[in-house]
Amino acid sequence: MPIELKIPAAGESVSEVEIGSWLKQKGDSVQRDEPVVVLESEKASMELPAPAAGTITELLKKTGDTAAVGEVIAYLEPGQAKAVPPATPAKKAPRATTPKEAPLVMPAAARELAQRGISRQEVKPSGPGGRILKEDVIRQSQAEPPTAKQVGRGVPAEPSPPEPISDDQREEIVPMTKLRRTIAERLVQAQQQAALLTTFNEVDMSAVMALRKQFGETFQEKHGVKLGIMSFFVKASIEALKEFPEVNAEIRGTNIVYHRHYDIGIAVGTERGLVVPVLRNAERLSFSEIEKSIGDFAKRARENKLLPDELQGGTFTISNGGVYGSLLSTPIVNPPQSGVLGMHATQERPVAREGAVVIRPMMYLALSYDHRLIDGREAVSFLKRIRDVIENPARMLIEA
């Protein structure tokens, strides 16, 4: 009896999702827990795994369609998944075999796979993180003669030479994903509904870098994770938030809600857009717990495995544009929060110290804040407090 593939619950406020791209097509075999389709919600992208091994018999939705939570979107006939025949010395080995972890297929590539009748296992991915791009599918289709299945779908029996690029082929129009649309709406909402300002400062990273050099190897051996700079800034932000509670508050109607907990959002960039998973009760976490959590967030964000509940409820956000080489920027507040800290690249620059010009590893910091709630004095003082803690990290240990 066919198994129904239903849209799972995706968080309290999520009632429907959008079909991002089908990773399997009708007639494809799947293993248990192998991803079948990418689902896009307003909070995150996630993969829907097969509940059992078998063969996809019917797809009820196409890319771009919406589906309600609990709605059936495909059918799976349970049974033994088709095995890939082993290569023998008498025959040439297959060009590609099923990888241990299926590569992610981008939406444009998924459409090309369906149109050309090519299995994604035949395509060698070239995109970041092992992703299959549209160009990979086109290159594969031109590399070998089409199968009977492809010919039946209208693919020419002989590969055609690449056509010259004409004006109408220089653009590709792709609908925005639900996640990207939500990001756009929230950014516009933040600009329209809050009085946003940004204040800047710079911090000498010498002390933090010295600590990482001195204890980094021991830290990694003990905890199994590198001692990064994010844990220092999470800890420093909490110290500053305790001293300036307005930055950890939000406006709710005509009231100010002061949060007595510190749920710190960590901005993570992905192929599909920026997501902000939240470190719950970060004030209770050790350096190693913070580093492990951030590493786990980044890994699962790339794999579309973040849970919707992990992306909501933060009280303050930290965005590290320095990992992309940003020297200075003005981050946008994530509503209903009132503040966001922007970190940037560390660069050696000449600075004055005790009447002498010396070279120090410096980082620019930015604090964007809602001026309806936070005055300039508090914003500047908040950023200075972070600078003081980072330049004297021992304070985090004695809470001075």
Q: Is 225 helix (H, G, I), strand (E, B) or coil?
A: coil
Indicate the length of the chain as a whole number. 400
Instruction: Verify whether residue 259 is a known catalytic residue.
Output: no
Residue closest to 176 by CA, chosen among 35, 335, 40, 333: 40
**Cβ proximity of 212 and 291 under 8 Å:** no
**Cβ proximity of 182 and 176 under 8 Å:** no
Instruction: Verify whether residue 28 is a known catalytic residue.
Output: no
Residue 330 has which token pair? 């003005």
Tell me the CA distances in angstroms from 279 to 59, 165, 289, one per residue in order.
37, 48, 10
HSE-CB for 136 with a 13 A CA cutoff: 25
Residue 178 has which token pair? 């639900």
Residue closest to 56 by CA, chosen among 41, 35, 40, 84: 35
At residue 281, what are phi and psi to the nearest 5 degrees?
45, 55
209: left (phi over 0), alpha (psi -120 to 50) or beta: alpha
The Cβ of residue 257 has, within 10 Å, a number of other Cβ atoms equal to: 13
Residue closest to 15 by CA, chosen among 176, 178, 175: 178
Q: Counting beta carbons within 10 angstroms of the beta carbon of residue 137, is it exposed (0 to 12), middle (13 to 18) or buried (19 or more)?
A: buried
Q: Counting beta carbons within 10 angstroms of the beta carbon of residue 240, is it exposed (0 to 12), middle (13 to 18) or buried (19 or more)?
A: buried
Catalytic entry in 33, 65, 261, 371: 371
Residue 118 has which token pair? 């090519």
Catalytic entry in 296, 370, 375, 388: 375
Cis peptide before 336 (omega within 30 of 0): yes
Residue 128 has which token pair? 């970041």
First to last CA, the chain: 66
Residue 161 has which token pair? 């030479």
- Catalytic residue numbers, as ranges: 371, 375
